[in-house]
Structure formats: structure tokens, C-alpha cells
């Protein structure tokens, strides 16, 4: 039996079936007006049902004892006072607290780009507030020994994935190549189209690349034995915990990422420790594994991985800077869109899938030989990672448009405000290759940063 990451509390569910409308793989089962349940063998763990659910238990309506029981079942801290909804994920806060309290462990943390444009909402800030500096400060107050950034590995991902795409185009490799940074999408493909796995990029996600680099390159820089280095990531995604547990994700010799917290869990932990988030100063992430460019930041929005890849891929192919850094042709959220981008003599045909519910026709076209593209980005959640299942919950559906719009706007604002906006311009990434990896797609890169998915999702 597949481990359960997302569940629906049978005692709380009213059977409204709103969750079934947002499930991209028809994994929620049950009759109308009866408690629903998730089928763990079909669930892609995207958490959109968690975001949508409106059935709950609260202290005011159901009493302190009933509330405390459910809170304890889910591993939530006593400081947690919010309503507890039927659709939920299981918290790993206690695991993180235990690691932080262990004097024999050196704790490092990484944060995904979408976290910084959403977490402040849980502390009363306007929807979509950019809080990159306060986020770094909060992680230090929690007690992590080093505060790094997944964006560093997003820049590395572009170096590897861009090189892989060019290699496939030039050498007649399997095309189109699909992005592999969204674990819910990877799981969907494994469940429904296992024969098409060769179309996935072999790149691990930025989370897993960063984890592998923590316990190799980072451990050497920090002079910490890899076995004593405890790796935490903070993600907008409820599928990242299962990704980190996959059997393929141990190429550093250890489990590359030990535990994953969602944006919401980090907010709960900050509150539990009595940290005043809004009063924190802006601080920087630690170098070198916390240095990043604007290209990495836009990984959090639909089309962002594609745009970041084009900014660097253009220069890798032509030797010239891309004429316009803002590649607006791949931006947007309208289901499936495609564009032709002129890269020197090559007309690069690209596609972007926003929301997994739109991917089936694309995959059917691929099977039928009708998908005439070079590169396709797929994100499971409705507007990319900024709308992930682990982001702050929007109680009113009417707030979603404003929240997602503001988070996207804050992401692009952050990109525009950074001094470097192309992944290959990141000096810390350049040093990583010079001192450790040597070159994209090289021996060490293949060992640590690439993988071949096993293809049997029942094994993870």
C-alpha cells in the first residue's frame, strides 16, 4: 500500500464534493453527501483538495476536547488555533523540532521561491506580500545553523536542464523534453503514462538538487560530516515530502532532504515559537548555497521554468545574450499554451501546461505523434507553485484571484529587482562548477543532480 500523505477525515467530511472538482487524477471517491476518501494509489499529493475543503472542526463550535484530539492526530503544535479542515496533510513540525534540539546535528534549511510571496499572509500582511528578507530572518530565529535557498539550485537546474535540452536537440534525443521539477506531475505521468517516461528531463527538482549539494559540496565547505548534516526544505507543495522519500533521492550517500515543511507548517512553527514575523528585519540568505538570480525566483510561477531556461539556453546556443530578458510569450495561466521562440537559426517550439487537468490532451497528442514541440513545462497546481497545496489557505474562494495575481506580480517584481537575472550569471553557481561539478552534464552532475525514475509509483 502506498503511504498516505493527503487524507480526508471521515468524521469531518460533509460530502460536498468540492474537492473532487479540483482533483487532477480523480483520486477522491465517495457518494454525494457522504464522507469522501482519497485513493492513495491514485493521489498525486498535490493538496488542492486541502486548499478547497470547507468542512472543519473548531474550538468554538465543537469544543476544546474534540479540537485537541484532531490537532494531536495531525501532529500540530498546541499554539495552532485555526479551524481543522477535513482534507489535510500530516505535519512534520515535531521532526524538525527534534532535529533542531539535537546538539549532534548541523541543521540547514532551504526555501522555495513561492514561499516568500505567500508566508506573510499568515501573519496578517496583504495577499501576495514579498517577504524574502523576513523569511530568512525567521529561519535564523528558529535556530537553523545555515539558511540557504532553493533558488540556488533552481539556477543549477537551468544549467543542467538547458544543457540537456540542447544536447537532445543537437543529437537527435527524445523530444519533446518535459520538465521534471514538479513531483505531482512526475507521479501523474508514472501512474497514467509510464511508457512516456523517456520524455521527462533526467534533472532532479531544485529541492532535491539542493539537498544533494548540501550533503556533498556544502558539507565540505562547512566542514561537517554528511551524516551529521540534517537537511530541511520549506515548500509550497504537499507532494515534496513524498518526493524527498523516493528511493532515487539518496545519491549523496544519505537521504538528500531529510524532511519537508509546507509554507503553512513553517508559519505554524514560527507562531509556536513566539516569533513576531512582521517585526523581523530583512536579512540575506547564507552564501554560497543561498545566492540566486531572478531566473531562479520565477520558478514559482507558471511558465517561469521555461522562461528561465530560455534566458540561459539562448546564450548557450548562440553565444549571444537573449535580446529581451522578459520572455513574455511563455507567461500566463491559460491551460496549455505554446510559442515559437527564435534562438539563432533554431525555431524552438515550446509549450507550457498550467494545471494538471489540462495535461491529458497534451499526453494523448504525444502518444499519437502529434505533439510537435521541443520542450514542455508542466505544473500541477492551477497557477504554478504560488498556488500550491501547502500555501496559506484561502478560506474564501473569492480571494483566490487576488491572492494568485498578487503572488505572481510579487514574483516578477522580485525578479526585476535583482542585479542578475540569468542563471548562468550566478557567480556562486559558476564557482560550484569550477570547484566541484566541473561542467553541466558531467560525471559528478549526472551522479548527484540527475536521476532515472523507477516508473512504479506504488514503490514510493
Q: Enumerate the active-site residues.
A: 161, 164, 181, 201, 240, 243, 248, 385
Sign of CA dihedral 141, 143, 147, 150: negative
DSSP-assigned states of every residue in 234-268:
EES-SSHHHHHTSTT--TTSS-S--EEEEHHHHHH
47 contact partners, CB below 8 Å, separation of at least 6: 6, 89, 237, 238, 239, 262, 388, 389, 390
End-to-end alpha-carbon separation of the chain, Å?
Answer: 10
Torsion, CA 243, CA 249, CA 252, CA 257, rounded to 10: 20
Distance CA 109, CA 140 (A): 10
Element (H, E) at 233: strand 229-235
Q: Return the closest-CA partner of residue 183 out of 161, 165, 205, 167.
A: 205
Distance CA 412, CA 318 (A): 26
Element (H, E) at 67: helix 64-73
In terms of Cβ atoms closer than 10 Å to its own Cβ (0-12, 13-18, 19+), residue 37 is middle
* Residue labelled with grid coordinates 508559519: 267
Amino acid at each position: 500500500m502506498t503511504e498516505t500523505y493527503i487524507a480526508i477525515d471521515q468524521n469531518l467530511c460533509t460530502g460536498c464534493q468540492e474537492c473532487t472538482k479540483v482533483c487532477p487524477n480523480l483520486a477522491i471517491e465517495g457518494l454525494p453527501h457522504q464522507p469522501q476518501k482519497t485513493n492513495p494509489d491514485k493521489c498525486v499529493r498535490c493538496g488542492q483538495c486541502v486548499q478547497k475543503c470547507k468542512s472543519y472542526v473548531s474550538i468554538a463550535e465543537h469544543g476544546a476536547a474534540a479540537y485537541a484530539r484532531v490537532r494531536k492526530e495531525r501532529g500540530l503544535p498546541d499554539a495552532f488555533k485555526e479551524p481543522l479542515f477535513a482534507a489535510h496533510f500530516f505535519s512534520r513540525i515535531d521532526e524538525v523540532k527534534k532535529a533542531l534540539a539535537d546538539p549532534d546535528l548541523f541543521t540547514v534549511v532551504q526555501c522555495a521561491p513561492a514561499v516568500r510571496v505567500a508566508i506573510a499572509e499568515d501573519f496578517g500582511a496583504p495577499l501576495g506580500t514579498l517577504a524574502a528578507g523576513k523569511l530568512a530572518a525567521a529561519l535564523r530565529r528558529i535556530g537553523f545553523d545555515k539558511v540557504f535557498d532553493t533558488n540556488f539550485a533552481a539556477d543549477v537546474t537551468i544549467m543542467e536542464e538547458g544543457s540537456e535540452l540542447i544536447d537532445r536537440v543537437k543529437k537527435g534525443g527524445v523530444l519533446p523534453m518535459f520538465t521534471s521539477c514538479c513531483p505531482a506531475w512526475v507521479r501523474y505521468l508514472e501512474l497514467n503514462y509510464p511508457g512516456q517516461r523517456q520524455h521527462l528531463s533526467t534533472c532532479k527538482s531544485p529541492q532535491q538538487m539542493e539537498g544533494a549539494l548540501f550533503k556533498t559540496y556544502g558539507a565540505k565547505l562547512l566542514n561537517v560530516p554528511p551524516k551529521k548534516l540534517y537537511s530541511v526544505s520549506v515548500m509550497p507543495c504537499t507532494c515534496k515530502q513524498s518526493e524527498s522519500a523516493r528511493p532515487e533521492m539518496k545519491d549523496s550517500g544519505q537521504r538528500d532532504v531529510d524532511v519537508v515543511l509546507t509554507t503553512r507548517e513553517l508559519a505554524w512553527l514560527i507562531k509556536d515559537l513566539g516569533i513576531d514575523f512582521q517585526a523581523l528585519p530583512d536579512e540575506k540568505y547564507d552564501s554560497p548555497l543561498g545566492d540566486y538570480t531572478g531566473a531562479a525566483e520565477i520558478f514559482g510561477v507558471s511558465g517561469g521554468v521555461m522562461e528561465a531556461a530560455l534566458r540561459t539556453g539562448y546564450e548557450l546556443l548562440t553565444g549571444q545574450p537573449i535580446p529581451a530578458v522578459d520572455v513574455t510569450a511563455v507567461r500566463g495561466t491559460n491551460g496549455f499554451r505554446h510559442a515559437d521562440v527564435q534562438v539563432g537559426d533554431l525555431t524552438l517550439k515550446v509549450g507550457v501546461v498550467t494545471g494538471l487537468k489540462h495535461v491529458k490532451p497534451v499526453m494523448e497528442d504525444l502518444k499519437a505523434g502529434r505533439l510537435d514541440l521541443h520542450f514542455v513545462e508542466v505544473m500541477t497546481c492551477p497557477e504554478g507553485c504560488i498556488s500550491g497545496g501547502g500555501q496559506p489557505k484561502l478560506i474564501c474562494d473569492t480571494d483566490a484571484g487576488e491572492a494568485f495575481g498578487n503572488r505572481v506580480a510579487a514574483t516578477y517584481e522580485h525578479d526585476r529587482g535583482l542585479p542578475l537575472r540569468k542563471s548562468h550569471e550566478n557567480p556562486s553557481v559558476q564557482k560550484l562548477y569550477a570547484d566541484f561539478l566541473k561542467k553541466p552534464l558531467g560525471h559528478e552532475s549526472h551522479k548527484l543532480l540527475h536521476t532515472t525514475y523507477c516508473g512504479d509509483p506504488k514503490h514510493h
